[in-house]
Each structure stands twice: as C-alpha cells, then as structure tokens.
Amino acid sequence: MCEYSRRLIAWLDRELPDQEAPNVEWHVGQCADCRKAVSEYEEVSRAFLACYEASGVVKTNSMVPLWTLSGVTAAAAMVAVILLAQPPVEKLSFHPLSPAPAPMMTVRARAHVHHRANPVSAHRQWVADEPVVEVALPADALFPPGAVPPGFNYIADVHFQQ
Amino acid sequence: MSGDSLPLALPLARFHSDDREATTLFRELRKPLLRYLVCLGLSSDEAQDAVQDAFLSLHRHLSAGGSEENIRSWLFRVARNQARNRQKSYDRRFGACLDDAGAESALDEATPERVLLEKEKFERLQNAVLTLACAERDCLLLRASGLRYREIGEVLGIATSTVADIVERAVKKLAEKCNV
C-alpha cells in the first residue's frame, strides 16, 4: 500500500497542512494507483453529495425568521388558546390605554367592522386610529420561564365580523 | 468535494437587535441546516421547527453575551441535538431520505440505459450508506454540508484528527462497496 494513501481524502478535502499538500499533489501526479483512488473517492463523494442535496428538497418558502415575525398569527393563536382554555375574567385584565409601564408582552386589539347589509360598503372597513382595547398578558402566563427571549413583542390584530 | 467553508462573514454583534443581520444569517445557513436535519431523519416540518428553534437558541446565546466564534458549528450542534430530541427513531437516518429523487432529478435528459445504470449505482450507494457506522454517517453528512473537519469535530465533540480518520474510513468503505 502506498504511504500516501491515508492522506488522499484529506488532500481532496483541502484539509492537509500547507506544507504537506504540495507533496501529496506531486505524488498523485506520479502514482497511477493513487490517481485511480483519488478518482474513486471523488466520484463517490460527488454521488453522496448529489444524494444529500436531493434529500434536502424541503419546503422553505414559508419560512420566516421567528424573531422578525410581527407576531400577528402567533399572538392571535395564543389569545384564542387562552380565551378557550381558561376563564377570561380571571386571566385577562383590561387597561383602556392606561399610562402604566409597558408589559413584557402586549396584545393590541383593533376593531374591523364589515357592513354586509350594504353591498357598496361590503369591503370597506372601519379601523380605529388607535387601539381600542389593549390586553396585557405577562409572558410568564403563556410560556415557560426563559422560553421567550427578552424584548419579544407580540401584536395581534383582532377582526370582528358581523 | 472541496471541503471549503461556506462564506460566513457575518457581523453578529447586532444579531439580537438588528433584524437584517439576523435575517442574513438565517438565509445563509437555513438550507444547509434543513438538509442536514432531513438527512438525520426529521420530516420537513420537524426540520423547519428545529431550525427555528436553533436560531432562537442562537438569539438567546448571543443576547446573553455568548461567544460569536464558530457560529456555524454551534448552530449545527444545536440542530443536531434538536434532531436527537425530536426524532425517536433517530437511527433510521439518511437511508430513509435517500429516495430516488436524487437519481431522478439528475437524469431527466439521460438515455434509458444511462438512467438504469445510474439508478443501480444510486442503489448501491444507498445500501452502502446504510452499512456505515453512525459516526461515519454523521461525518459524511456534515462534510457534505460544507463543514471543515475542525467544525465537524466541534459539532460531534471529537478531535479534528479523529474526524479525518472517520471521513477517510467512510469514503473508502463507500468507494469499495459502490465499486465505482
């Protein structure tokens, strides 16, 4: 067995030290066995890479970095879960635009009213300029301690339809 | 395979405060991480969840003043742990995801004879991969993700020289069994 045979794959991967790589390269140019071996390693590596890349065909279009998410969907889902799972009177406290310090997590509700009776105005919405109701939910009530990094804000737009 | 690292000259200092930096890093490493996780046996949805969780962990890590060095291997290590936690049948790795997609996509315009030959070769590779030890498959997957030996060692918690030995052994096994 050639003394260079144990360094061929590291050489292919450019993982050999700078002072060693030229020696291996020179040897591969001289040794037919090593050239053949390098060719085989390259081919099997390419085949493996092709399989690997093909296996990574996954749905990526819908992926959005979570920390950049506005939180509309997530917060709406959380509010829905809370409202369904627990008595809202006990858990929710309403602060009509109180000047109290901002909580760690804030959910703002805006009213969007659809007028179905009038076809002309069927698509018109009334949107309040300011949040009508502000629901303050402490993050600890929603997630286990430490699950939400500090500084995360969730904002929910709640639509009311008639 | 060149073994070159993916370009990752990303300013991470403002990762936790600047959405653009975070998004750049996310876009840079999302696909390699997804691919790796799918090959570890996670479904597409599980892999996407795991990638999100890994980046959330990175966010917390950096927010807490953690090191910004070797972020790529850090993310792969976290993702790998995520996969182990999520995937009960962790050992049914890679073989399951080596379906015919790879062969089909590469052979769209090939002759029927060539398609047949390539499919046979593909099946041999698939069977050969299944005979590899876990560490060998791990190293080859991370190598295919573009990680350097040093980074692979950091992900798996082994020495760089050990990675070199394992990669060499694995590639030789595949070459021998595939009879290329």
Of A40, A56, A62, the CB nearest to B38: A56
B84 and B127 together in one domain:
no
**pLDDT score, position B172:** 93
B140 and B171 together in one domain:
yes
**pLDDT score, position B38:** 86
**pLDDT score, position B66:** 79
CA distance B120 to chain A (A): 12
- A151 near B CB under 8 A: yes
CA distance A47 to chain B (A): 8
Mind listing the pLDDT tens digit for each residue in A8-24?
999 999 999 999 999 99
**pLDDT score, position A76:** 55
Whether B3 is covered by a domain: the verdict is no
B89 and B22 together in one domain:
yes
Whether B79 is covered by a domain: the verdict is yes
B85 and B140 together in one domain:
no
**pLDDT score, position A134:** 56
A17 and A73 together in one domain:
no
Determine contact, residues B89/B41, Cβ cutoff 8 Å: yes
* Total domains in the fold of chain B: 2
CATH code for the domain in which residue B17 is found: 1.10.1740
Whether B104 is covered by a domain: the verdict is no
B31 and B73 together in one domain:
yes
As for the ipTM of the complex, it is 0.72
- B79 near A CB under 8 A: no
* Total domains in the fold of chain A: 2
Whether B4 is covered by a domain: the verdict is no
Whether A43 is covered by a domain: the verdict is yes
**pLDDT score, position B130:** 87
**pLDDT score, position B164:** 95
Of B48, B59, B122, the CB nearest to A67: B59
Give pLDDT < 50 ranges for chain B.
1-11, 93, 95-107
Whether A157 is covered by a domain: the verdict is no
CATH code for the domain in which residue B143 is found: 1.10.10.10
**pLDDT score, position A159:** 54
Contact B175 A44 (CB under 8 A): yes
- A56 near B CB under 8 A: yes
**pLDDT band, very low/low/confident/very high, at A115 (cuts 50, 70, 90):** very low
Place of tokens 């590596």: A45
pLDDT at A151 over 80: no
Residues in chain B: 180
Rounded to whole angstroms, the Cα distance separating B61 from B43 reads: 26
B29 and B77 together in one domain:
yes
End-to-end, the C-alpha distance of chain B in Å comes to 16
- Read off the amino acid at residue A116: R
Query: How many CB atoms lie under 10 A from the CB of residue B54?
Result: 24
**pLDDT score, position A27:** 94
pLDDT at A31 over 60: yes
- B146 near A CB under 8 A: no
Task: Give the residue numbers spanning the domain of A25.
Answer: 5-55
A77 and A128 together in one domain:
yes
Residues facing residue A107 across a β-bridge: A135
